[in-house]
Amino acid sequence: MIGAGMGAMAAAARLAVAGHRVAVYERTETYGGAVRRFERDGFGFDTGPGLLPLPAVYRDLFIKTGKEPLEACVELVQVDPSARHVFADGTEVSLPNASRAGVVAALDEALGAGTGDRWGDFLVRAREAWDRTRRPLLEEPLWPNWQVLAEREPYPSVPHKRLLRTRRAGTLAEVGAWELRDPRLIALLESHALAYGLDPSVTPASAAVLPYLEHAFGTWYVRGGIRELARAVYERCVARKVEFHFGAEVTGVVEKDGRATGVELADGTVAEADTVVGGGPWRLSDLVPGRELYRAEEVEPSAEGMSRGRVVVCLALRGARETGAEHRTVVHAPDRQAESDAFGVGEPPAQPTVRIDRPDDPALRPDDAHESLVLTATVPSQTLYDWTAPGAADAFADRMVTVAERAVPGLRERTLWREVRTPVDTQRETGAEGGGVPAPALAAAHGTLLHPSNSTRIPGLFTVGGWSHPGGGLAHAGMSGALVAGLIVEGPEFRGSQ
pLDDT per residue over 186-241, tens digit each? Answer: 999 999 999 999 999 999 999 999 999 989 999 999 999 999 999 999 999 999 99
What pLDDT, on the 0 to 100 scale, is given for residue 167? 85
What pLDDT, on the 0 to 100 scale, is given for residue 186? 97
Give 207's Cβ-side CA count (13 Å radius): 32
Q: Please give the model's pTM, rounded to 2 decimal places.
A: 0.96
21-37: pLDDT as tens digits: 999 999 999 999 999 99
- Return d(Cα 342, Cα 116) in angstroms, integer: 31
296-317: pLDDT as tens digits: 789 988 889 899 999 999 999 9
What pLDDT, on the 0 to 100 scale, is given for residue 491? 92
- Angle (CA) 307-312-318 rounded to 5° is 170
Q: Which of 66, 381, 49 is nearest to 229 (CA)?
A: 49
Mean pLDDT (whole number) for 453-464? 96
- pLDDT tier, 163 (very low <50, low <70, confident <90, very high otherwise): low
Mean pLDDT (whole number) for 157-185? 89
238-294: pLDDT as tens digits: 999 999 999 999 999 999 999 999 999 999 999 999 999 998 898 999 999 989 999
Mean pLDDT (whole number) for 334-351? 90
What pLDDT, on the 0 to 100 scale, is given for residue 302? 84
Widest distance between CA atoms in the chain:
69
* Cis? peptide before 362, omega within 30° of 0: no
Mean pLDDT (whole number) for 484-497? 91
- pLDDT tier, 498 (very low <50, low <70, confident <90, very high otherwise): low
Residue 364 has what DSSP assignment? G
- Return d(Cα 131, Cα 144) in angstroms, integer: 20
49-85: pLDDT as tens digits: 999 999 999 999 999 999 999 999 999 999 999 999 9
- pLDDT tier, 344 (very low <50, low <70, confident <90, very high otherwise): confident
Q: H helices within 200-280, ranges in order?
A: 209-217, 227-239
Q: Is the dihedral of CA 465, 468, 474, 478 positive or negative?
A: negative
Phi, psi of 229 (to 5 degrees): -65, -45
Cα 281 from chain centre? 17
Residue 355 has pLDDT above 60, yes or no: yes
Mean pLDDT (whole number) for 413-417? 98
Q: How many residues does the chain have?
A: 498
What pLDDT, on the 0 to 100 scale, is given for residue 160? 84
Phi, psi of 283 (to 5 degrees): -80, -35
- Return d(Cα 105, Cα 85) in angstroms, integer: 15
